[in-house]
């Protein structure tokens, strides 16, 4: 597995050098911030024909334990701007139906504001899926804010493995590694 992964990375590196290197297809959009620049680079690779099944970009700024209002609003703005700019570029490039964006975080947030006007790490959070082939809608059950666990955490209503299992089966046409975790109709 490690050797196979290393070979895949080597081959993608060669593709990036050959297809994006000297004369890349330009990508114009209103990309800004860490996430925006990452998505702009991904758009450039996709539009220049780099054949990679997954790209990962990151954004900092959501770990808001104190004075949350302004930094959280800024982080959400960067997320919305980056995804919107990326989607517009993919639509203009004619590949939006072939792209799937999935957001995730390694932790959720607590429902109740702490004494520092922020929120602490929690056990549940929202996950978003975007793409031209994604069926619009809100999936899952609205969290019950009156039914928090003993630590003040929102109880999750959807197992994240069901989302990844759906992507494995319906997007990559692979068996779900988590059979029995349910399916989602978003793709």
Mean pLDDT of 168-187: 76
CA distances to 114, 120, 124, 144, 157 from 111, in Å = 9, 9, 10, 10, 15
Distance from C-alpha of 110 to C-alpha of 112, rounded to nearest angstrom: 6
List pLDDT tens digits, range 70-95: 888 888 899 999 999 999 999 999 99
For tokens 């024909």, name the residue. Answer: 49
- For residue 92, what pLDDT is reported? 94
pLDDT confidence of residue 129: 93
pLDDT at 137 over 70: yes
Mean pLDDT of 96-122: 88
Q: What spatial distance separates the first Cα and last Cα of the chain, rounded to whole Å?
A: 28
CA 175 and chain centroid, separation: 21
Which band of pLDDT confidence, cut at 50, 70 and 90, is reported for residue 181?
low
| 18-55 confidence digits (pLDDT tens) | 777 766 677 888 888 889 999 999 999 999 888 888 99
């Amino acid at each position: 597995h490690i050797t196979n992964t290393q070979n895949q990375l080597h081959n993608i590196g060669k593709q990036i050098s050959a297809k994006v290197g000297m004369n890349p297809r330009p990508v114009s959009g209103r990309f800004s911030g860490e996430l925006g620049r990452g998505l702009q680079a991904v758009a450039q690779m996709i539009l220049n024909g780099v054949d990679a099944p997954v790209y990962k970009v990151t954004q900092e700024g959501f770990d808001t334990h104190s004075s949350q209002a302004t930094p959280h609003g800024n982080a959400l703005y960067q997320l919305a701007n980056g995804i919107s700019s990326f989607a517009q570029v993919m639509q203009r490039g004619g590949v939006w139906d072939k792209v799937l964006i999935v957001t995730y975080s390694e932790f959720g947030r607590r429902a109740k504001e702490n004494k520092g006007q922020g929120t602490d790490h929690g056990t549940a959070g929202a996950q978003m899926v975007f793409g031209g082939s994604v069926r619009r809608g809100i999936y899952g059950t609205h969290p019950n804010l009156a039914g928090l666990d003993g630590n003040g955490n929102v109880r999750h209503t959807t197992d994240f493995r069901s989302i990844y299992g759906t992507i494995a089966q319906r997007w990559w046409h692979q068996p779900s590694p988590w059979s029995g975790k349910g399916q989602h109709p978003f793709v």
